[in-house]
Structure 1
Amino acid sequence: MQKILSKFRKAVNDFKLIENGDKIAVGLSGGKDSITLLHLFKKYQRFSPESFDLIAIILDTGMESDFTKLKEMCTEIEVPLYIIQTHIKEIVFDIRKEKNPCSLCAKLRRGSLNDNAKKLGCNKVALGHHKNDAIETLLMSMFYEGRINCFSPLTYLSRMDIHVIRPMVYIDELEIKNIAKKHNFPIINNPCPANGFTKREYIKNLTYSLENEIPGLKDNLLKALTNTKQLKIWNKND
């Protein structure tokens, strides 16, 4: 945990993700990434030079997930938890009957999470995207859209006056898997019918395969994202 906590802290410092007086909502899906993120925040809060408040938000998309263990976990680590009822499953699968549902689903979840975080008095929303997610997003943008693009560790949404932060962008997915297993996190299996059959899943498997043939591939792609002399994607000084 200390190893990935140091990477968490480096991202916070590099991109100035946390400031005094912040109230941060962690989007808690029940997957290994968001649960790990919440625990890292709680540990960082103990020695952070910045004073900030922390809550967790679960979006109930209507897929009949059981959040009992997540409630118990949040009570145990003393993080207020809010479960928000939504109609996302009904809209995406029943009404719109989307054949490629990921884009619409993600848009609806982002909107609901940000809106409810704002209503709960938060000025920042934290998401559990890690190093692999960043690399996959970069490759998907290049392969499928002909663009060099990726999400940012820090994004300001002017329309909602809220910041989105991603403090795990330096942490490898395998490190998160190991931590989740070691600490027996109460992971909820993704109930989405499209889970495992997406373009992102294909790119994920491709990067793992390429890493075996090209050692250091993921680290080099991460360096490309922070290479501000050539690309203005992750600019630490901006």
Structure 2
Amino acid sequence: MKLQQLLSYTRKAVDEYGLIDEGDHIAVGISGGKDSLTLLYALHGLRRFYPKKFELSAVTVDLGYSECDFTPVVYLCEELGVPYKIVKTDIAHILFDERKESNPCSLCAKMRKGALNQAVKEMGCNKVAYAHHKDDIIETMLLSLIFEGRFYSFSPKTYLDRMDLTVIRPIMFVDEAEVIGFKQKYDLPVVTSRCPIDGYTKRQYAKELVKQLDDEHAGARQRMFTAILNGNIKGWPPRIPHVR
């Protein structure tokens, strides 16, 4: 995927769900993975021509794995001219050394988001962008159906009233395969995850299930995504008809 195509997908999400307003200061949550770095490129590129002017910053919550080095991300943000903050935490130590969690994902996500949102507010941002792509949205819907008994997935835009902060998901129309292609084409400086259970989670199960369904029933994956968009899920904003 070329940058132009990425920007087209991003513009579509931003316009159809009203993700960006004039004067916004948006923080990009950077894990160091391919998705968040692609999101950084997307919003940096969009900022150059989008009619509503906005500021852009980036922030990483360092979970405390000693092997993780975010120096390449520092250099990338300097190259793009995006202010970048790294928040040091002991989340990994708490989860695996102190609590010895066997299923740490939920608690990890809660602690990570808490640290991220606090940092975002301290940076003076009113919005934070998460790098959930199309496959994440489909997998979340499946996980919700299987384990919670409800039809649900991430909303393109969510207002957190306790934090007075809005979460946006600008690359929701981008396939994970396209993210992988973008990473390779533009040689993104990916920081490899050091989580000991990475690849052994329920989300990985959902990812494999979606692939199996799509292999056996061509187009199933896209039809699931269409069902989500048209599903009137509670908390989702209405789509905005837009003519450029």
TM-score over 0.5 for the pair: yes
User: Among the aligned pairs, what percent are the same residue?
Assistant: 48
Distance in 1, matches of 2:217 and 2:234, equals: 25
The equivalent position to 2:220 in structure 1, one of 213, 217, 224, is 217
Which residue of structure 2 lines up, in the alignment, with residue 51 of structure 1? 53
Deviations 1:130-172 (A, max 9, x none): 0000000000000111111111110000001000000111110
The answer to whether 1:62 aligns with 2:55 is no
Question: Cα RMSD between the aligned structures?
Answer: 1.3
Once the two structures are superposed, the pairs formed by residues 176-195 of structure 1 within 5 Å of their partners are: 176-195=179-198
Distance 1:47 1:235 in 2: 25
Task: Say if 2:101 is the partner of 1:98.
Answer: yes
What is the TM-score when the length of structure 1 is the normalising length?
0.96
Q: CA deviation at 1:115?
A: 0.8
Q: How many residues align?
A: 237
Structure 2 alignment gaps of length 5 or more: none
CA positional deviation for 1:214: 1.5
Q: 1:52 offset after TM fit, Å?
A: 0.5
Alignment match, 2:111: 108
Amino acid at match of 1:159: R
C-alpha deviation, 1:232, in angstroms: 4.3
Report runs of 4+ in structure 1 exceeding 6 Å deviation: none
Does the 8 Å CA contact 2:158/2:235 hold for their aligned counterparts? Answer: no
Aligned partner (choices 128, 141, 148) of residue 138 of structure 1: 141
Give the aligned residue type for 2:35.
Answer: D
- Higher RCO (Cα < 8 Å, 6 or more apart): 2
- Tell me if 1:8 matches 2:32: no
Q: Is the 8 A contact 1:153 1:166 kept in 2?
A: yes
Q: TM-score, with normalisation over the residues of structure 2?
A: 0.94
Identify the residue that residue 151 of structure 2 maps to in structure 1.
148
Question: Deviation per CA, 1:85-133, whole angstroms, max 9, x where unpaired?
Answer: 1111122112221110100000111111011100110000001000000
| C-alpha contact (below 8 Å) 1:154/1:164 kept by paired residues | yes
Q: Deviations over 1:156-197 (max 9, x none)?
A: 000010000001111100000000001110111110011011
Does residue 33 of the first structure (1) align with residue 20 of the second (2)? no
Correspondent of 1:161 among 137, 160, 164:
164
The worse-fitting range, judged by mean Cα deviation, of 88-97 and 76-85 is 88-97
Deviations 1:184-233 (A, max 9, x none): 101111100110110100110111122112121221111111215x6546
- When residues 231 and 157 of structure 1 are mapped into structure 2, their CA distance, relative to the original with a 3 A threshold, is closer
SS of the counterpart of 1:58? strand
Q: Which runs of 5+ in 1 are unaligned?
A: none
Q: Distance in 1 between matches of 2:125 and 2:84?
A: 13
Aligned mates of 2:239, 2:211 — CA distance in 1: 31
Partners of 2:159 and 2:7 in 1: how far apart? 24
SS at match of 1:191: coil
Give secondary structure in 1 for the equivalent of 2:191.
coil
